[in-house]
Structure 1
């Protein structure tokens, strides 16, 4: 049975952020993930995880100036020192939260003619980040993101991610396979799961096309959850979706998987 982590950046927004941990545990989740922890002291988050018996499955490295539209630093020329500091900051939070997996956002590509240069820098920065994360016992992830939700993002396809992972050559650098993004960009999800699961460190889900609950829309997630079981996937499945209404009211899909007690 897949292990599901509630994404607290999107789910349970009826509650203040630090109260979402209790809500996720009450709903039966064993793990949580979120985009960024940096607005809160690591100790405050760690206390909520411990109090509610939750595992921190994933969070992202600092993305740069999110409010100004930045979506990652790893491919941005002239920001190498800032990127290295962001890696150290994320490692500090990961240690405090007992989190074993972090995601490195690539950044936006302003001009397709710069792709080769930006990808070379991305590989260099990923090598540094993977080495630092490896020394801390962490897995580092990269994630293809669809061009509709995040126009201009450098990384969009699973094959592109695999090529970059191979170029970096670090054993702890793996794929974050987001089935919502994959369906929009490539489709054929069962084939993609079979092909890319050997290099996958984390899976994420959402209904397509509205990014609501996984039982809304065009994807048969029940089939895909069974496929993940069949293939022996033992990692987390992050529920990175925007509830259509009140979060708890949309968890009917989760009833067979929820933690009891």
Structure 2
């Protein structure tokens, strides 16, 4: 079965962020990921990881107002300096924490007439991220987010992810493939992972619909996790779901599939 990681921005939210590392370890995880770790000091995170023998495998470049309904950071032409500052912060954390990958969230374009300009800006900023992270041995990844939950997101399908990657022609920029978002778009993750495993730098999952833990929606998790195993993908697979009930009660899938 895949190597699973707990997303501490969504799991174990019953306790403060600094205490979620220990909760994840106690429930059987060897690795964690955080959407945005910046509320904690990087050195404090490093000490906690060392104490618990955990690895932090992924976090995001700051995304400004994206989660509050705004356009975000990486694709907005007028925010390029702000993106560079956010990237510099992510690089500072990466130097301390040495994650496997850092995610650059593309963001939204709320004016369709400007889509091409926004996409061009995102591609440019994605390359800036790879230029900064590759010398550290950190993969640069980016993801598609479904346009039902987040209207206007500039990369919302597997095909669009592949098109960005193809256009950049770089070996140090990878896909972050989120099973929930692609199921929400009506896509077939089993087929995508089988065909493009070598282009994927990180995988995340939640059941669909609802974005709860496996077993709360309609996805066939035995088939999905087996497909990841067969594909040759060697990275981590992140549990990034919204637990229905207490996090500890949502982890039956972990005992079943690990």
CA RMSD of aligned residues (A): 1.4
What TM-score does the superposition give when structure 2 sets the normalisation length? 0.95
Count of residues paired in the alignment: 258
Give the CA deviation at 1:68: 4.8
Gap runs ≥5 in structure 1: none
What TM-score does the superposition give when structure 1 sets the normalisation length? 0.94
What is aligned with 2:167? 167
Matched ranges for 1:98-113 at <5 A? 98-113=98-113
> Residues 184-240 of structure 1: CA distance to partner in whole angstroms, max 9, x if unpaired?
113222112212222100000101101110122110111111111112221100000
What is aligned with 2:42? 42
1:2 and 1:236 in contact (8 A); partners too: yes
2:197 and 2:232 in contact (8 A); partners too: no
What is aligned with 2:70? 70
Alpha-carbon distance between aligned partners in 1 of 2:202 and 2:181, rounded to the nearest angstrom: 14
What is aligned with 1:251? 251
1:131 and 1:170 in contact (8 A); partners too: no
From the superposition, tell whether residues 71 and 26 of structure 1 become closer, same or farther in structure 2 (CA, over 3 Å).
Answer: farther
What is aligned with 1:216? 216
SS across alignment from 1:39 = coil
Matched ranges for 1:108-257 at <5 A? 108-257=108-257
Alpha-carbon distance between aligned partners in 2 of 1:192 and 1:116, rounded to the nearest angstrom: 26
> Residues 54-99 of structure 1: CA distance to partner in whole angstroms, max 9, x if unpaired?
1111100011135753353111012111111211110111121121
2:77 and 2:117 in contact (8 A); partners too: no
Give the CA deviation at 1:53: 1.1
Alpha-carbon distance between aligned partners in 2 of 1:14 and 1:65, rounded to the nearest angstrom: 24
- More deviation, 184-193/5-14: 184-193
Give the CA deviation at 1:152: 1.5
What is aligned with 1:81? 81
- More deviation, 110-119/171-180: 110-119
2:71 and 2:110 in contact (8 A); partners too: no
